[in-house]
Every structure is written in structure tokens, then in C-alpha cells.
Structure 1
Amino acid sequence: MADLDAEDERTEEFTTLKSIYPELVTDDANPYDATLPLLVAPSKPLPITFEPGQEVERLAYLPPLRLEIVLPSEYPADAPPTVKLSTSPSWLPDNIQRLLTDEARSLWEEYGGGMMLFTFISSLQEQAETAFGLDELTLPSTMRAELVDYSRRMKKELFDKETFDCQVCLEPKKGSACYRMARCSHVFCIACLQDYYNNCIKEGDVNNVKCMSTECGQTGTKGKKKDRLLSPKELLQIPLARDQVNRYAKIKRKKKLESDPSMVFCPRTWCQGAMRTDKYPKITDVSQMDDSDSEAEDDPPQQPSADADAGPEKRGIGLRGMDRLQVCEDCNLAFCAICLASWHGDFVRCEPRDATQLTEEDQASLNFILKNTSPCPYCSVPCQKSFGCNHMTCAQCKSHFCYLCGAWLNPDHPYAHFNDPKRKTCFQRLMDGAEGDMANGNIQFAGRRGAEQVAEFWEQEALRLQMQEFDEDTR
């Protein structure tokens, strides 16, 4: 009779456990033998050092703890359950496995011969959340690939099963249709991310290829939020098309090259490639470009420096000897960084090329820029307005300035500039030319661009007077 009662209790306990843990599997040959895999997901990713390479990985998920249970015929009244713990691969230290195994007998004794498996399993789950008390772990490097792959796979499987509200379209979406940002963990649906990032890359606005959450960003040097751009590797994971990611990486590199005063470009008009440099390596495989390639630009200063109008420094000045030798990364031309001629040797003295040596095409481009754009007062990038008011924000350095006179504007009170009667050239002219430069509006500028307008007016006026005199003489 006692044996029948024990069988009933063992059957009842396993039946109860199966209703709570559907993963519990009993042995068909022996109904009182069972196995249960337990998820190991530490609340804080566990740092693991893989020897001998000393590579450190912080893993959010570890291979499950396999619990094997055998209920003897004397259980629960006269004998504890037999439990065995293991992991595959064997990442859990042996001393911790022994402590966990001994805990089963201690619980059985504490319960005075009662059913205690649920309490034991709950205890294992709680300890799994703290990685069983481990602050760090050292394992052989042969386990690295398997553990890292498991953590990534499990993270994606659990993410795909959840439901999230996209922060852009505000619609609930399954995790399989969403993407979690790697650095900040904000979640958006893939369709919204692809639409936004593809449009940014198409328009060349790569400085906005960042997390779209208004809460995202790091605090910069002046208390402002500093956004971090996405790496090409992460854009491929969203996923974006490789040709789009290639364009993104190339535009980012081009902006860095052009803003660096130390860079020199190939003098061949049909090439114009940058000089070879380890500072900005040429892009070969975007899938291998890590996060260090996508650090955001430093916060722009609140006001331009005293010599902001002095113009860019002359590139190559100060180089001597073989330091003047540069090689184009595209056409492999060896040239001098000072005079931009083909390399003439170490002992030849040369002078910088001046503005009179511009090609006809370069001079035409320069004339168009001077006539049709207003430069940023801080970084000198030429800006042209397509529509809107005359309060401009530089796409390169984010400085605020007036499109009419080129003056720097206080970001906290940018419109005070247009309400100041002392500024006669800009007073109450915030919306002048709201339809943009291409609308052919007759807008009077100040500053450098205004001087270009005045010069062009008197040049045309002088030509008109000459033609008038010529007509009078021929009558």
C-alpha cells in the first residue's frame, strides 16, 4: 500500500511539473526519470575570458542547464530525489555543479520528506539570473564560437516571439518584423528603418543615419546630446542593401577627407582621388567595418573662433623633403603635396600653386559657389537654400547662421537676429526668399555674398553703359 502511495505521489509531482514546465521530458521506459532544460539568461551579461587569446565576450545567454531527475521508489518519504546537472559544452564550473546538486538533498531534508522538486527548480532559475553567483568566467578558446553563436541565436529567437510598438509608426509588430538597435536597444519595425535610412543615404544626409528615438544620444562636452552614427555592419543586419551601405560608407569617408585640412588630392583633373593615408583607409568590405568607424562628429562650438573668416589653411605648407611625396589612392600617381606636380625628387625646391593656376572648370565651379551659396561661418561649407526661412543649420557642423549675411546665430535664440533693428540688412527679413534660390527671386544679401552681388551689378552696369555709348556712336 505504501508503494502505491509513493507511486501516486511521484506521478502527481511529475504531472504537476509538466503543467508548469512543458519542456520536462520523461523517459518512456522509466516514467520516474525525467530531464528539464533550464534557460540561463543572467540579468547582466556575463564577461567570459577565452584563453589563451584573452578574448573577452559579454554573453546575455549561456547554454541551458540540463537537469536530470530520478525519483526512487522510496521518494518522497524515505529517500531524496537523485539529481544530476550538466551543460553542453561544459561551461559551468564543477564546484558550482556540486553545490547545486547538494542543495536538492538539503531541500528534501528541510521539507521533512515532502515533495520539493518545484522549489528546487525555482531556486535553480533564480540562481541562473545571477549566473550562479559568477562575476566572470574563464574558459578555453575552443568554446568561444559555440557560446557566442548560441547567445546570438537565443537572443534572436526570444526577440522574434515578443511584440513591440514601433516608435515611428506606433503600430504593434512581432519581433520578427522589428530590429533592436545594437547600442541603445531601442526597437523599430524594419520597414520604418529601411525607409528612413535609404532616404537619408539617397539624399546624402549621412549624419542622420542614427537611432530615431528622441531619447537616444550621449551627453556631449557642453551638456548637449551627441548622437552616434550606425556602423555599416549594423545597417547590413537591419538589413539594407549592400550597395546602399557602400554609398553610406563612401559618403561618410568623403566628408571626413574633405574636412581634413591635411589631406591633399590628386592633381589630375580626371582623377581627383585622395592621397593614400592610414588615417582614412580605403573601403574594401563594409561588412567588416566596426563601430569605431561610425563615431559621431564632435559637438560644434557655440560660436566661431576669432579667425574663422581667415579661410582654410593652405594644404601641404610646412612639409619638407620626402614628406612632400604623396601617392594617389586611385590612379597611383606620385606627386608633390606642395606644387601638385608629378614627383620631382627630394632636392627640388617648389612653391604652392596659387589661385591663378586653377583650371577653367575649377574656376567656373568657384565662381558659381561664390555667387549662389552662403558659407557656414564656422566650417566654411557652402550652403544653398531650397526653401524655408533664413535661419540655417549647417549640414556639416550643425552651426546656426543667417543665410542673408552669414552671421553666426545663437542656437538658443536664433530669431533674435531678425528682430534686431540695428541689423538693417536682416531686420524683419526672416522669410525673404522662402521659395529658395532657384525661384529666381531678387534677394539682396549682405556679407561676402552681398559683395559678389554688388560687384556683378556694377560689372553689368559698366557693360550696359559701354553698349549705350557704342550705339550712340554708330548712329
Structure 2
Amino acid sequence: MNTDSEEQEDELLALDSIFGSGEFVRNESKSSGEIRVSVELPANFTVVLKEGQTLRKYEISFLPPLLLNFELPEHYPSSSPPSFTLTCSWLTNTQLSALTAQLLDLYQALGGTVVLFSWVQFLKEDALTFLDIQNVLELPNDEYEGQDTPSASVSEANPSTSSLLSSSSSGELDQTGQGAASLPVPTREPLQTEDEILSGLTPSQILMSQILIYNADQKQKVFDGTVFECSVCFMVFLGSVCVQLSECGHVFCRACLAEFCKVQITEGNVEAVTCPQADCTASPTPAQVKSLVGDDLFSRYDRLLLQSSLDQMPDVVYCPRLSCGSAVIREQSGTAALCSVCRFAFCVTCRKTYHGPDDCMGKKQQTVTDDQGDHMNLPESHEGIKALLDDYANGSKERKQLLEKRYGQRILLVTVEEIMSEQWLATNTQNCPHCYSKIQRDGGCSLMTCSRCRELFYWASVAGRPAKGSRGHF
């Protein structure tokens, strides 16, 4: 083995030990390989795409790597440089040509010594400065076509991401025996689903999209390998078993956050599915909630969250049919509402079949007259109605028949049902002192939390004093 061969083998072994399998791939059959070079970005680095009058800006931490495909000729490093191809998705052909020329100049400057590691360091640390790219990378606009725009070929920039539109430039010297043909760039056909997804986008939009995807993937890899302390159980975990809320940046172990969300959803407090950190109102994304609690609880969460939103809308009422209960948008100019699901037209005031512009009580009395003949009107006072119903409920058979003939059997039965409902509500519910929603308690402590406005209040006993020894549930 001559000196050049020994130096080539030593250099390839050194590269294999320095870089991981995701950065350096060696071709064992000959002295060649591929190096993926991740360029170091300054803080607050921004990628910009101009589309007509719209300027899209995204702050990123990682750009897809440059691909350096090389082959070492017989007389490298003594008298010949490596034959190579430099490929990148986000640089123009002109920029790649400038980098290629600089790499060849570096070989000449080092005077016939191994150069691959020096090339990698230059591309990693100094490529942006050399190209006069400071804190902003402006992607080429699709309106300007030519040699300076990324070509239409597709290269496998990173096997963990989608294929990227790429530009490439080959390293060549003059025809004095020091140059060599460049290696072909490995290519692959895009997946069919990827073609369908990208078919409606311009090349620049595709490039921007895939830069953002790569950036997100790399940030997740960094997060997965970082150690965090869970703010709930105060134990230390790798980021791979943690969840970070995007709104506030707080990190929790997956088990603690999942249990917290499950409890809130099971109890119906979907508005409490927020950051467990004290005084933080940020919320996990729907995708995070679904991954934490599973499909069944997420369906309940989604439904209750919609219900809570509708409850806070003043123009939304619910269909009074027990078999339906769908949300209905009411007309502010009247009291009529039509359910779009079961087609039931009802009065938003009394929740009965719509009776026209007449008041609800007058229509109820008129309906009884129309259905059952001429009957007497019910007493107007609440006390009078209560006395009549007591008489009807406790009277003899003959007395009941007399009252039914006088007032109508259906109206008496309907009124009894309504009075009983009102009595049950009066006995078993109280209004929230803040939003006046009806609240039911089935036991527990007297300190309550309103499920609508989330305000705290004490459940008052019949005597007006706080009750003790019971647990609240909504």
C-alpha cells in the first residue's frame, strides 16, 4: 500500500469515528462516501419567501444539510483533490458554484494533505459568512426562472424527512490531470402520497414547507435528548417521555399531564384542561390532548368543549325535544326557533311548540280551549295555581273529574308537571352568584366551582348558612 492509499484509509477511518451514521456514509467497495453537513445558524435566523405582495417569515434553528458526495482518486491527497458533488436544497447554483471553488482553493492552500475534514468544518462554520448570508435567508422567487434558481431534480437530503428540491455543483479543476468526474447524486422517487400533497404548491412553497418540517423534526430530536424536571411530580425525565406546551413552554412528564387531563375531562371540567403550572392559562393543543387521553376521552373532551362554547353564545338555544337536544341559532327579532336536525319549531321562551306572537301563558290557555272545548282559565297567581293543584292531587275521584271538566285534564296534568319541575329545581339547585347558571350538587364540600365561569362560591344551606360535609359535582 502506497502513501496516498494509507492516508486515504486513515482519513476515512477518522471520519467514521468523528461523525455518526446519520452524518457520514462510507462506500466500502471504493474510497468514496457521502457527508451530510449541518450548517450552524446564528440566533434569530429567519427564512423569508416573497409571494407577490406577501412576505412570509419564519424563525428557524436548523436548515436541511448540505450533501458532500466524494470519491478519492488514486493520487489523492498528494497531487489530486477529491472528486465531489455539492448538493443543497436552499442554495442557488451560483452559491453552490462559489462554495465548490472555495473548497478547491482550500485543497490547494493545504498543499497536498487530506482535506475532507477541513471542508466539512468550513461548510459547517463559515459557509453562510462566505456567501454573505447573515441572519436572513431569502428563498428564490418562482417568478424568476434561470440558472440561479433551484433545479427541478429531487435528492434525498435526509432520510428522515421528505425529499427536497435541490441545486448541485460539481468540483472540477483544469485539464491538467488534477480533476476527475463527479459522483452522481443519489436520488429516489417521491412517494405517491407526497406527490398528491405537493401537487398544488409552487417549488418555492414546497421548499419552504420542507424546511419547516426539517426544522421541527430536528428541534424534536434535541428536545427528546434533553433532561427536564416535571413541574408536577418534580422527577427528572428525558424529553422523549415529556410534553412541552407550545403556548407557555412548560414541560411535564407524559404520565402526570395525561392523568391531569383525564381527571378534568372525566369530571366534565374541559375548560380546566390547561397548563398545570400555577397561574398559567396556556392549554395543550388538541393533538396533544388526543395523544395523552386516547380517542374515547378525546371525543368527550371535544364534545364538551363545543358545548361550553355554545353555552356562552347568547344567540344559541337547544331543541327541547329529549330525543334531539341539538343546538339552534335563534333569531334575535322574535321568539321562534327551528331545529335544523329534527325540524321542530318551538318558542325559545317556554320551550313548547311555537304558538305565534301571543304570550306563552295566553297561548297555553287558548290551546286547551281549542283542543278540549270551553274551559275556565287557570288562576293568575302562583298561590292560586298551587291551591288548585293541591285540590286536584288530594281530591276524591269525583272532585278530580269536576276540576278536569272545569279546567281541562291535559292542562292540569301539564301544569302539575311544570310545578313539580320548578319545585325540584328550587330544592336541588342554586344559581351561581357570578353568572347565574343553575348548579346541582350531589355531595361533597360546600366550596363550589362553577363549571361555566369557573368562579368559586359557597353552597348555601336552606337557612342561608354554608353546608358542610358534602362534595360538589357538576
Class of the TM-score when normalised by the shorter of the 2 chains:
0.5 to 0.7
1:248 aligns with 2:301: yes
Are the structure 2 counterparts of residues 362 and 273 from structure 1 closer, same or farther at C-alpha, using a change threshold of 3 Å? farther
Distance in 2, Cα, partners of 1:45 & 1:276? 48
CA contact (8 A) 1:37 1:67 kept: yes
- Aligned to 1:261, the other structure's residue is in SS state coil
Distance in 1, Cα, partners of 2:269 & 2:453? 12
Which amino acid is the alignment partner of residue 137 of structure 2? D
CA contact (8 A) 1:182 1:234 kept: no
Larger radius of gyration: 2
Distance in 2, Cα, partners of 1:29 & 1:437? 75
Question: Which residue is equivalent to 2:434?
Answer: 378
CA contact (8 A) 1:69 1:84 kept: yes
CA contact (8 A) 1:46 1:135 kept: yes
Percent of residue pairs identical = 26
Distance in 2, Cα, partners of 1:374 & 1:340? 21
Q: TM-score, normalised by structure 1?
A: 0.59
Question: Which residue is equivalent to 2:178?
Answer: none
Quote how far apart the aligned CAs of 1:253 are.
1.8
Quote how far apart the aligned CAs of 1:271 are.
3.4
CA contact (8 A) 2:274 2:283 kept: yes
Where do 5+ consecutive residues of structure 1 fail to align?
A: 218-226, 278-315, 406-424, 427-431, 439-475
Quote how far apart the aligned CAs of 1:37 are.
1.8
Which amino acid is the alignment partner of residue 99 of structure 1? A
Distance in 1, Cα, partners of 2:435 & 2:256? 33
CA contact (8 A) 1:162 1:174 kept: yes
- Aligned to 1:241, the other structure's residue is in SS state helix
Where do 5+ consecutive residues of structure 2 fail to align?
A: 141-202, 363-380, 383-410
Question: Which residue is equivalent to 2:391?
Answer: none
Question: Which residue is equivalent to 2:357?
Answer: 349
Which amino acid is the alignment partner of residue 423 of structure 2? N
Quote how far apart the aligned CAs of 1:319 are.
0.6
Question: Which residue is equivalent to 1:68?
Answer: 69
1:25 aligns with 2:25: yes
How do residues 39-78 of structure 1 correspond to structure 2 at under 5 angstroms? Answer: 39=38, 47=47, 62-72=63-73, 75-76=76-77
Which amino acid is the alignment partner of residue 260 of structure 1? M
1:8-47 CA-partner distances (Å, limit 9, x unpaired): 444333332221113323333432x231123468666865
Distance in 2, Cα, partners of 1:93 & 1:269? 66
Question: Which residue is equivalent to 1:460?
Answer: none
1:361-382 CA-partner distances (Å, limit 9, x unpaired): 6654543443444433321134
How do residues 375-454 of structure 1 correspond to structure 2 at under 5 angstroms? Answer: 375-383=431-439, 384=441, 386-388=443-445, 390=447, 393-404=449-460, 433-436=467-470
Distance in 2, Cα, partners of 1:150 & 1:66? 15
Quote how far apart the aligned CAs of 1:203 are.
0.5
Are the structure 2 counterparts of residues 108 and 437 from structure 1 closer, same or farther at C-alpha, using a change threshold of 3 Å? closer
- Aligned to 2:326, the other structure's residue is in SS state coil
- The RMSD of aligned alpha carbons is 4.5
Distance in 1, Cα, partners of 2:127 & 2:271? 42
Q: TM-score, normalised by structure 2?
A: 0.59
Are the structure 2 counterparts of residues 327 and 178 from structure 1 closer, same or farther at C-alpha, using a change threshold of 3 Å? same
Distance in 2, Cα, partners of 1:362 & 1:110? 97
Are the structure 2 counterparts of residues 165 and 136 from structure 1 closer, same or farther at C-alpha, using a change threshold of 3 Å? farther
Deviates further, 246-255 or 326-335: 326-335
Quote how far apart the aligned CAs of 1:111 are.
4.5
Quote how far apart the aligned CAs of 1:84 are.
2.4
1:202 aligns with 2:279: no
Are the structure 2 counterparts of residues 77 and 252 from structure 1 closer, same or farther at C-alpha, using a change threshold of 3 Å? same
Aligned residues: 353
